[in-house]
Amino acid sequence: MENEQSTHVHFASLSSSSERYNETFEEIKKAMKKSVQLKAELSAKERNLVSVGYKNVISARRASLEILSSIVQKEESKGNEENVKKLKNYRNKVEDELAKICNDILSVINKQLIPSSTTVDSSVLFYNMLADFSSNAERKEATDQSLDAYKRLVWYQQFQLYMTLNWTSVFLNSPESAYQLAKQAFDDAINEFDKLNLESYARKETTLDAYPESRWVGICFTLNLLLLC
C-alpha cells in the first residue's frame, strides 16, 4: 500500500511540474486516502502538492467565470438575448463544477486532513485552505484556527516564510489582523535574530536560498503593511 501511495505522489508531482493540475488534483486525492489508511502524516512535499493542485484547479474555474461574466455583460449591452441565454447556461455549468470541487475539497479537509494532522505546519495549511474555500461563519472559524496554529510556528521556519506570503488572501477583509500578524512577525524576527545558533542560521539561509523571492517579498510585505497601517 505504501508503494501505491508513493506512486500517486510521484504522478502528482510530475503532473504539477507539467502544469496539468487536474491530474495533480486527482492523484493527490488518491495519495491522501492512502495516507489516511496508513495513518501517516502528509510530508511537506505532499502538503505542497495538495495546496498547489487544489488552488490551481479552483483558480482555473474562477478565471473562467470572470471571463464568461464579462462576455455576458457585453452581449447584454448589445441586446443579443439568445447569446446571453447560451452564455449563462454555460456559466452555470462552470459554477456547478466549481461548487462540486469546493465541496470535495471541504470534505477532504474536514474528514481526512485535519483529523489526521499532528503537526503545526499541517494545521496551518489545512485551516488556511479551509478558510479559502469556506464562507461566512465557517470561514471566520477556520481563519481563527489557522491563526492560532500560525502563532505556534518559529519565525524562521521555512513553512512560515511561505505562509507569510500567502496570508494576505486570508486576511484580505481584516486589515487590523493582518497588521498585528505582520508586526508580531517583524518584532519576533528582530528579537530572535541575535539568539540564533549557527545551525539555525544556516537553515534559515538555506530556506531563503531555496525561495529567493521570499527574502524580498516577505520583507516588503511586512514593512509595507506596517507603514500603510
Read off the pLDDT of each residue in 65-82 and give the average, rounded to a whole number. Answer: 92
- The secondary structure of 34-62 as a DSSP string is HHHHTT-PPPHHHHHHHHHHHHHHHHHHH
| pLDDT > 80? residue 186 | no
Could you tell me which of 97, 86, 90 has the C-alpha nearest to residue 57? 97
Tell which CATH architecture fits domain 1-142. Answer: Up-down Bundle (1.20)
| pLDDT > 50? residue 132 | yes
- Positive or negative CA dihedral for 107, 111, 117, 120? positive
On average, the pLDDT of the chain sits at 67
Position 63, amino acid: A
Rounded CA separation 210/204 (Å):
10
CA angle 107, 104, 16 (to 5 degrees): 115
Contacts of 202 (CB under 8 A, 6+ apart): none
How confident is the model at residue 177, as a pLDDT? 60
pTM for the model stands at 0.53
With beta carbons less than 8 A apart as the criterion, state whether 2 and 38 touch.
Answer: yes
Which residue is listed with cell 457585453? 74
- Per-residue buried b or exposed e for 44-71, using 16+ beta carbons within 10 Å of the residue's own CB: eebbbbbbbbbbbbbebbeebeeebeee
| pLDDT > 90? residue 86 | yes
Which residue is listed with cell 447584454? 76
Give start-end residues of each CATH 1.20.190.20 domain in the chain.
1-142
With beta carbons less than 8 A apart as the criterion, state whether 65 and 98 touch.
Answer: yes
Q: Which of 120-124, 189-193, 194-198 has the lowest mean pLDDT?
A: 194-198
Nearest-10 crossing angle of helices 136-150, 120-133: 160
Q: Tens digits of per-residue pLDDT, 135-160? A: 555 556 655 655 565 555 544 444 44
With beta carbons less than 8 A apart as the criterion, state whether 13 and 45 touch.
Answer: yes
First-residue to last-residue Cα distance in the chain:
51
Q: Which of 43-47, 128-132, 148-152 has the lowest mean pLDDT?
A: 148-152
Rounded CA separation 156/179 (Å):
19
Could you tell me which of 35, 180, 48, 22 has the C-alpha nearest to residue 125? 48
- The secondary structure of 89-143 as a DSSP string is HHHHHHHHHHHHHHHHHHHHIIIIIHHH--SHHHHHHHHHHHHHH--HHHHHHHH
